[in-house]
Amino acid sequence: MKYVITAALALTAAAAQAQSHVQIYGVVDAGVLAEYGTPAGNSTGIGSGLASGSRLGFKGSEDLGKGLSAVFVLEGGYRVDNGAMGQGGLIFGRQAFVGLRGTFGTVTVGRQYSPYYQAIRDVADPFEDGMAGQATNLMAGNYRIDNAVVYATPRVAGWSAEVAYAAGEVTDKLAVNDDRKRQFSGMLSYAEGPLVVMLAHHHSEDALLPDHVRNTALAARYTLGAITGHAAVASNRGLAGERSRDVLLGVTWKHGPHRVLLSAIDRDDRSAARRDARQFGAGYLYGLSPRTDLYAAYGHIDNDNGAAFTVGNATDSGNGNAALNLGIRHCF
């Protein structure tokens, strides 16, 4: 009898393991960072997460039956150069959410990437929001949103959509404007064959004033053999009604372990101050394996009329108007 019980327990454990899946993953990224045109002059040092933010994450799913699954992600950032935690010391500052996935799509709740950010990172930007040439040096990122409920539709005939609402959770009961800190973000996507097009919008209520910031971007990516072209146009409305427009053109070339990235961005400030800016970025990656690569990148920004845009990377916003990155990235 004990052998029957042992076999039954083993089969039960195997079945449970087949229904649930948890994965540990991460990125270790570090390199040499040289910055130029900073207030303190030029500087060179060791930086962490230049191409991709270094991170340790846990993600998983459980099959609940009838096509329904529970899903979760817990992901925290850290610095390789000194071992400190990223995102201001948050344990899971990169992502932390739980939800359900089924034939209806996916609903998740927690700290998550905004749909707008995913359009910029995944479609518009050849640098995928990393290294010195990243698009978010000039363009709005709207990276993560707290207290967010996100719904992503299934893909039908190449079309899909994603919408997010983030509660402001203002605790001041005397607040005149109860909308403070609320955020709305959405994306409509078409992906078929070599073409990907995304229309994205983000609306964020100010934390202190009865005012808001909004960004609307149309991004496209087209792949033809070894070459991928990138393009984006963004219309921005800042606080007090300030307006600007961004235009991005870029290209990615892949051949074997080699990858070359080029992009140019023009920011047209439509306020009276005319604080325009232009950025040029160039990058090269060499794949030592599917999970490890070496990289080099350079980014330069020309600021007009007191504009103060800086060249950053996947982890830091940067201090100068130009930067050079040399590093290594390992994914596991």
First to last CA, the chain: 44
pLDDT digit string (tens) for 181-233? 999 999 999 999 999 999 999 999 998 889 999 999 999 999 999 999 999 99
Q: Give the Cβ contact number of residue 207 at 10 Å.
A: 9
Q: What is the mean pLDDT of residues 9-24?
A: 61
Residue 214: both structure tokens together: 């909004």
Give the confidence band of 12 by pLDDT, cuts at 50, 70, 90: very low
Please answer whether residues 141 and 129 qualify as being in contact, where contact means their C-beta atoms are separated by less than 8 angstroms: yes
pLDDT digit string (tens) for 242-264? 999 999 999 999 999 999 999 99
3-state secondary structure 35-93: EECCCCCCEEEEEECCCCCCEEEEEEEEEEECCEEEEEEEEEEECCCCCCECHHHCCCC
At 173 the pLDDT is 55
- Nearest CA among 10, 91, 19, 105 for reference residue 58: 91
pLDDT digit string (tens) for 90-149? 999 999 999 999 999 999 999 999 999 999 999 999 999 999 999 999 999 999 999 999
At 11 the pLDDT is 37
- Nearest CA among 55, 26, 44, 34 for reference residue 296: 34
At 172 the pLDDT is 61
The pTM score is 0.90
pLDDT exceeds cutoff 90 at 5? no
Q: What is the mean pLDDT of residues 17-34?
A: 90
